[in-house]
Amino acid sequence: MPIVVQKYGGSSVAGVEKLRKVAQRVKARRDAGYQVVVVVSAMGDTTDELLALAKGVSADPPRRELDMLLTCGERISMALLSMALQELGVPAISFTGSQSGIITTDAHAQARIVEVRPYRIHDELARGKVVIVAGYQGVSFKKEVTTLGRGGSDTTAVALAAALDAEACEIYSDVDGVFSADPRVVPDARKLESLSYDEMQELASAGAKVLNAQAVEWAKARGITILARTAHGQGTGTAVQELAVPTDSRLKGVTADAEMAVLSAAEPVRLPELLEFLDARAVRGRTLDFEGGEGGPRRTAIAVPLADIHGADALRRELATRFGDAVSWREDLGTVTCVGVGLNADWAPLRRALVAAEELGARVHAAHTSPLQLTLLVDKAHLKALTARLHRELLGG
């Protein structure tokens, strides 16, 4: 029988009744003739609650111990869903990431999957069971429990779909697919029927929370189509796949990201030295602006996701000790990003974005463009208004 991998986010399994509804959906898929592997996130706000406990004990918890703690959330979800399925008469078994054969790097809190050995999953599927897998986690070659970073359950699902040669990888959330903007910010946002891997990866990296960027990277490398769907009722969702034919619109979506710190560096700091400092602490980021050169000051702005920093206060102190006033740390800025193939084929989108920001009174602190992306760094107070304005200006809605 064909295999399908389904992933359910934290809000979809937040409580006993929602777990039962997920179990019924999984049962229906199995009854339709599929072998089913289900990846689950932690229930509701469990991860945030566990992180708050850790911060109550230590201002800068060791990343290894955080991984040991945070992986408990997904284990709760997997066991409860397995129980719910068995109550419906569906044979099921739950596995942690390590039991599922998910092998990762040893970078705690931000590990990357390097290999999947799904031997036990194959064995249990052959016995007619539904296999429930704890998302967001794996085990390193050093036998250390690791986590995959924010949204890592998506990556778990795609990696398993590739390893199992699954017919489909379905990602379920509260919304029916991917929209051209956050509907809570832009009520007229349109649901996108399809997106290329590259477009989706850019949107995810820039703050869209429907899918995880690393998951899309995995899907692209292995040709796995991702179906983003709603966990509530029926819907057509969005297919993320390789698109051979360009779409009918250059701009696909606008997204904002407020959950970041912005590091601004000026001479005498050498950029390679700053990047080496950040790499040594596993701090990832996006370079938004790099200017200056011979005869003038050189500055760069690096946006760092706050979710990827454990111990922001300690990192700030280290930066001040190492670089003094030459590197500033700001948390009052955010990005608005427009994504689409050929978006910057001419200057019109950037020009219109800058004019829109000016008319809203939003100072543009930095900008970044690529063939797929246009990003403005502005004060957080202007993020929602600028997102709605650019959606209207560039997408007509």
Residue pLDDT, tens place only, 15-52: 999 999 999 999 999 999 999 999 999 999 999 999 99
Q: Are residues 361 and 336 in the same domain?
A: yes
Alpha carbon distance 345, 303 (integer Å) = 25
Indicate the range of 109-123, 294-308, 340-354 predicted with least confidence.
Answer: 294-308
Give pLDDT tens digits for 59-113.
888 889 999 999 999 999 999 999 999 999 999 999 999 999 999 999 898 899 9
Instruction: Report residue 295's pLDDT band, with 50, 70 and 90 as the boundaries.
Output: low
- Percent of the chain topping pLDDT 90: 64
| pLDDT(291) > 90 | no
Q: Are residues 202 and 59 in the same domain?
A: yes
Domain count, the chain: 2
Alpha carbon distance 263, 274 (integer Å) = 10
The pTM is what?
Answer: 0.88
Domain of 263, in residue numbers: 246-396
Q: Residue positions in the annotated binding site? A: 7-10, 47, 74, 184, 209-210
Q: Are residues 322 and 370 in the same domain?
A: yes
Q: Are residues 71 and 140 in the same domain?
A: yes
Write down the pLDDT at residue 290.
62
Provide the CATH number for the domain around residue 304.
3.30.2130.10
Alpha carbon distance 370, 388 (integer Å) = 22
Indicate the helix (H) or strand (E) that contains 262.
strand 260-266
Mark which of 243, 261, 292 sits at the end of a domain.
243
Can you name the residues that pair with 35 across neighbouring β-strands? 3
Q: Residue positions in the annotated binding site for substrate? A: 47, 74
Provide the CATH number for the domain around residue 207.
3.40.1160.10
Give pLDDT tens digits for 315-355.
899 999 999 888 999 999 999 999 988 888 889 999 999 99
Q: Are residues 198 and 117 in the same domain?
A: yes
Q: Are residues 153 and 211 in the same domain?
A: yes
Write down the pLDDT at residue 260.
92
Alpha carbon distance 344, 347 (integer Å) = 6
Q: Are residues 33 and 88 in the same domain?
A: yes
Write down the pLDDT at residue 243.
75
Q: Are residues 197 and 315 in the same domain?
A: no
Cβ proximity of 46 and 193 under 8 Å: no
Mark which of 211, 243, 275 sits at the end of a domain.
243
Helices (H) and strands (E) in the chain, counts: 11, 22
Q: Are residues 191 and 277 in the same domain?
A: no
Q: Residue positions in the annotated binding site for ATP? A: 7-10, 184, 209-210
| pLDDT(286) > 90 | no
- What average pLDDT score do residues 265-284 get? 83
